[in-house]
Amino acid sequence: MPKSPLFSTYRQGENRVTSSILAVFERVDVSLVERLLAGACGESSLSIVRFANQVTGPSSVPDGEISATCRYLFEVKTARSAVGEVQLRSHLALLDGRHGDERLFVLSPDAGVPALVSALGDPRVFWFNFRSLSDAIEDLLSDPRELVPEQSRFLLRELQALFKQDGLLDFDDTVVVAARTAWPEYFKYHAYICQPNRSFQRGLRHMAFYTDGAIQPTVPEILGQMDNVRMDEDFAQELLAADARTHRAIGGVIRRILADGARVAGDVLQIFLLTGPEDERTLQLKEPIRNAQPSPWTQGQRYTRFEALGKGPVDTNALVNRG
């Protein structure tokens, strides 16, 4: 069967990107495709094709077997928040149990799992974004244990370049929080403390602070997040004894907050652990980014891209953001 064209003739974005992905997957070793899909969607492993020796049958034992019992469907979106319920349910109806491994992969540029995908609750649906797939490609190509042929390396790099060219790797990865009290607290505790069960977009990597009519120039990286944190010595001690470094750090934050009397003992809060202002991972802008609108830029939280902040815009008009 002839392979599909490597450079798609489709003009419509979703079809062009889908065709390009499948064309590359078709030309690289199937084991690489298994690893990329597993890495992108957070699975430990996938098995598209099975190779086995000495297969025991009902009446004979063949010396070897190559078998494939999967059916993988793909739904690709190149716009954010574009995944549709009717479409996904129609795709799932095609998975009728005639194959041993049936999955629907949903690929979109959203920063986190679309609410619709989570609401479906179907174990056959696996969502990932273009950033996850690109990261899986990077992990594969940088793995010294993986012998990836030069042609495959070239094709996978070209696929990454396509994602970047089409803006599919960019998403709102930074939350900007209203920070009249949180801004000075950040310098004291290297943390952001807020009410429990407050909803934040998934996939966040950085936090910025909005106060005094501007986004402040220090933008730390988010190291960890914990909800329903009990502000008492017993819970702090429990976290300090944990194996996870993030838990121990949050335990230390609780102790310092209690020692300062900054929160009422026994309160339940949510804590983001952040890099400090002197940390090399923290972005330091030359000056605050002034709000260009007559009303406050955010009264709670708002999202933008770290890349946009890094360019040091004069005012908020230059930021890509959503409320």
The tens digit of pLDDT for each residue in 61-108 reads 888 888 888 999 999 999 878 899 999 999 999 999 999 899 999 999
pLDDT at position 1, please?
Answer: 53
pLDDT at position 257, please?
Answer: 96
Label the pairing between strands 206-211 and 214-215.
Answer: antiparallel
Interval 157-163 mean pLDDT = 92
pLDDT at position 65, please?
Answer: 84
pTM: 0.58
Closest CA to 124 of 146, 148, 145, 99: 99
Interval 282-295 mean pLDDT = 95
DSSP output for 21-34: HHHHHHHS-HHHHH
Do residues 233 and 264 touch, judged by C-beta distance below 8 A?
no
**Residue appearing with tokens 């750090």:** 249
Q: Which two tokens stand for residue 57?
A: 């049958």
* Burial (CB count <10 Å: 0-12, 13-18, 19+), residue 192: buried
pLDDT tens column, 265-278? 999 999 999 999 99
Q: How confident is the model at residue 322 (pLDDT cuts 50, 70, 90)?
A: very low
Residue ranges covered by each domain of the chain:
13-165, 174-322
Average pLDDT, the chain: 90
**Residue 320 pLDDT > 60, yes or no?**
no
**Residue 11 pLDDT > 70, yes or no?**
no
Closest CA to 110 of 121, 99, 102, 118: 118
**Residue 116 pLDDT > 50, yes or no?**
yes
Q: How confident is the model at residue 58 (pLDDT cuts 50, 70, 90)?
A: confident
According to CATH, the topology of domain 174-322 is: 2.30.130
pLDDT at position 81, please?
Answer: 81
**Residue appearing with tokens 């804590």:** 271
Measured between alpha carbons, how far is 82 from 107 in angstroms, rounded to an integer? 11
